[in-house]
Structure 1
Amino acid sequence: MVPHAINFMSEVEEPSNHPPRDFEPNELAKEGKGRRKKALFLLLAIFLLAGSMWWYNSLTVTTDTIRAGVTLEPKKPKSLLKKISYIAFGNSETGNSNLAGAKTDRINILLLGMGGPGHDGPFLTDTIMIASIKPSTKQVALISIPRDLGVDIPGYGYQKINHVNAYGELKKPNWGAAAATELISQTFNIDIPYYIRLDFKAFAEIINELDGVTVTVDRSFTDPMFPAPYDEYQTVSFTAGEQTMDGQTALTFARSRHGNNNEGSDFARARRQQKILLALKQKLSDIGTYLNPLRANNIMNSLESHLTTNMEFDELVSLAKTGQTLDTGRIISLVLDSNPDGFLKSTFTSSGAYILYPKTDNFNAINDSIKLIFNGDPNKAIALTNASAENPFFNADIKNKEKNPVETFAPKTVEPILEIQNGTWNAGLAARVRRRLEFRSIAITTVNNTQEKPISQSKIYVLQKNTPSTILDILVDELKISTTQNIPSTIHPSTSTDILIMLGDDFID
């Protein structure tokens, strides 16, 4: 049972410099097959990429170079002859059974994508995905985990799951992926022996080396709020249909968060990320990729600089061979989301941070769905229940709103007047948020700065009881800020304001 009083940390782009007291990847560096089956991964397409490109490198570089990027304690390297035999003939004695999980017919790999150096929050994972392979039927499943999912991080309390990699890096450089894998394994009650972590620069470079990837865009959309240099925004658009994307275009397609036409959620983005990974896997299946030494060398150089994995050479080769036999025409996809028929619900921590949490207040239904993902519809395991008082994310404001829902008030005959106040030193923040909301058809009447700065916590203050709930729903969905009808005496809205959007230091632009 979760304690009633939880000390939530403030939502930050970078974690605290104070190391956790008890957050330690347990014995992940043990040799042999006895090492703990816990770890972190990155982008799915890389499972084939990593194995295939190690083929080229094994013939041209030293053993030490081959082991570059492996964060766990290395095993004794194979001889060059042994490596070549693995590549040409496989392991005649074990087939793919040298992969952890092959004997139980379930190979799990954690895939992680992060911004890397030069990006805001460089070690916050933007992509979290479990790739699960069933060798006997040649099936593969992709399970996308939203970065806003709330989990209990030892030593830090309840936080968004995308922080785990960053906290692991604070504990020990290059151990973020191992720490994330262990926590995700425990949370979802699944053995994950392998991980691959890649940053965005390598993702774009590899796709460029492959002359782009072919992707079918399901529906046209425009995102006017895609990040641009110097804390600005740029407008990006995609047209429905099949198209070839270069590295930067594919990265933009995979990362866009504020598109219209039902493409403005993290869950829509997760589905687009799966599309890019499968397109990359298809391109890597082309034998021409491996017959171009310059291309292979360039990809290897990018991987050595930007990829972290705990897989051994023979495991990478086996995974590459297994990957080429998979039936990728029938990928099983599970995206954990907060749709009406989804597993999750949107809520806020006691500190006001937006977070996702299971509708059943535990992970049992999700874990059953992951366990049985090859047995039918993975979404059938869900059983929705009312939120319980033990849910640490279910704060008093939300409980009160459910007892006295906004929907019970009579609708106004005129549109409410909305005001945005910037309570930070981030110049232009209110104007940028105004543009975001106007793209969602929300008109903002006034944009101001607060009289005092900084304001620590963001909030949506509802000053009129008959404010339409549909507008509040859009504001919460877009800004990830909780609502309240209690306005402090230190906050001063304009006289005619019906809804005041306060942007504090915790607001993620």
Structure 2
Amino acid sequence: MKQQEKKNEELKVYFFRFKKRFLSFFFNLKIRRVLIFLSIFVIIFSFFFSQITTFFKKTLIGPKTAFSLLTADTSSLNSSNGRINLLVLGIGGENHEAIDLTDTIIFASIDKNSADTVMLSVPRDIWVDPLKTKVNAVYHYGEERAPGEGFVLAKDAIQKVLNQPVNYAILIDFEGFIRLIDLLEGIEVKVDRSFDDYKYPIPGKERDECDGDWEFNCRYEHIHFEAGWQHMDGKKSLKFVRSRNAKGEEGTDFARSQRQQKLILALAQRIFSYKTIFSPNKIKALKENFGDHVKFDTQLKEDQITAFLSLFIRFVKNKNEIRTISLDTGSKDNPGFLYNPPIEEYDQWVLVPRLNDWTEVHKYIREKIYKGY
């Protein structure tokens, strides 16, 4: 009996020692696994942190700015009544006959907090009486005076027409416009109505004699756009926004203004899509190829660039829709704010305010911007 109890006692000691060694081994194994896991995590984190840092160093704005985009403060941007007002001017550039006439004039007002955006395409034929010229020639005459003066005169002219301050002005030429869209691999635009333009000017043929053809048909090409969603490259996009000789309603400058607004929205959504902003190569290409075709009226600081990017990303993220305003001549039954006087009065086709001053327009613009939600 005593011998059996002794064996049982020895077995208990054996199993106790075995349990202790097993648990010790298991515990040490868990520690080893944890340490291995942590080591792997540190290696992976170090690798990805290096990649992230390299990524942002390759981008236009740098790591500090890139990390702050999500929570960027827009207070560094000049604004008026909580809104940032931009003037966008589009010119033909060196390969066009009228290299610095502003073929496109767009006023955009963006809320600093919500990114609510109001856009107005300013008719290029509006008469600027102090300068005795159309508004599309104001930038040209300013640059003739002195480099940079074009922005000053253009901003002043638009401020007088709209009675809204212009905080920033941007100039882009058509060659840059084409390159930008091609670098983004095209954009998707919805065409409201099918249209044909048989008089779309061919660049470089503005003075071609066309072998005596009195209609100068060799200077033009026929372009066609089908209604519905269309994928457009740079050249096609440019034709879409510049066409002004289409048959029917699309042949008016006002329809053209609406096409410009459509394209700008599509372009903004493409630029600030994840596919673009998370592609360092694409951002680098945009900077290298597009930078020479864009001018600002002021040198932006890094925090202002950050604020602008944050504002535009917020606009796209919130899927905000641009609220559009139009200035036009209206119809016989419903006259607009503008009036087309007899040609002999100004020796050219121009647009002037219907009531002979801009007071009515000022009120309309103010209400649309601040009360038009």
Which TM-score band (shorter chain)?
0.7 to 0.9
CA distance in 2 between counterparts of 1:302 and 1:171 reads 29
Task: Give 1:376 deviation, angstroms.
Answer: 4.4
Of 251, 255, 277, 1:290 maps to 277
TM-score, with structure 1 as normaliser? 0.55
CA change 1:281–1:158 in 2 (3 A) is: same
Does the 8 Å CA contact 2:142/2:151 hold for their aligned counterparts?
Answer: yes
Task: Give 1:337 deviation, angstroms.
Answer: 1.2
**CA distances 1:85-139 after superposition (whole Å, capped 9, x unpaired):** 33312597x821111117x311101111010112011100011011101234431
One-letter amino acid matched to 1:315: Q
One-letter amino acid matched to 1:165: Y
Alignment correspondent of 1:409: none
Q: Any gaps of 5 or more consecutive residues in structure 2?
A: 1-53, 207-218
CA change 1:57–1:334 in 2 (3 A) is: farther
CA distance in 1 between counterparts of 2:247 and 2:113 reads 41
Alignment correspondent of 1:368: 363
Alignment correspondent of 1:87: 66
TM-score, with structure 2 as normaliser? 0.74
One-letter amino acid matched to 2:337: F
Task: Give 1:148 deviation, angstroms.
Answer: 0.3
**CA distances 1:286-314 after superposition (whole Å, capped 9, x unpaired):** 12213333322221123321100125132
Q: Does 1:171 align with 2:145?
A: yes
CA change 1:57–1:374 in 2 (3 A) is: farther
One-letter amino acid matched to 1:198: I
Q: Does 1:337 align with 2:345?
A: no
Does the 8 Å CA contact 2:340/2:351 hold for their aligned counterparts?
Answer: yes
Alignment correspondent of 1:324: 313
CA change 1:354–1:343 in 2 (3 A) is: same
Alignment correspondent of 1:448: none
Structure with the bigger percentage of helix: 2
Alignment correspondent of 1:112: 89
Alignment correspondent of 2:184: 210
Q: Does 1:230 align with 2:205?
A: yes
Q: What secondary structure is seen at the aligned counterpart in 2 of 1:325?
A: helix
Alignment correspondent of 1:161: 135
Within a 5 Å distance, the mapping from 1:361-440 to structure 2 comes to 361-376=356-371
Q: What secondary structure is seen at the aligned counterpart in 2 of 1:242?
A: strand
RMSD (CA atoms): 2.5
One-letter amino acid matched to 1:218: D
CA distance in 1 between counterparts of 2:115 and 2:64 reads 24
Identity among equivalent pairs (%): 31
Alignment correspondent of 1:183: 157
Q: What secondary structure is seen at the aligned counterpart in 2 of 1:324?
A: helix
Does the 8 Å CA contact 1:219/1:261 hold for their aligned counterparts?
Answer: no
CA distance in 2 between counterparts of 1:351 and 1:135 reads 41
Alignment correspondent of 1:97: 75
CA change 1:147–1:349 in 2 (3 A) is: farther
Q: Which has the larger radius of gyration?
A: 2
Task: Give 1:377 deviation, angstroms.
Answer: 5.1
Q: Any gaps of 5 or more consecutive residues in structure 1?
A: 1-55, 67-79, 379-509
Does the 8 Å CA contact 2:127/2:134 hold for their aligned counterparts?
Answer: yes
CA change 1:121–1:328 in 2 (3 A) is: farther
**CA distances 1:126-169 after superposition (whole Å, capped 9, x unpaired):** 1101110123443100011010000134xxx3210001110111
Does the 8 Å CA contact 1:222/1:259 hold for their aligned counterparts?
Answer: yes
Q: What secondary structure is seen at the aligned counterpart in 1 of 2:147?
A: coil
One-letter amino acid matched to 1:277: I
Does the 8 Å CA contact 1:115/1:121 hold for their aligned counterparts?
Answer: yes
Of 293, 316, 319, 1:306 maps to 293
CA distance in 2 between counterparts of 1:227 and 1:201 reads 15
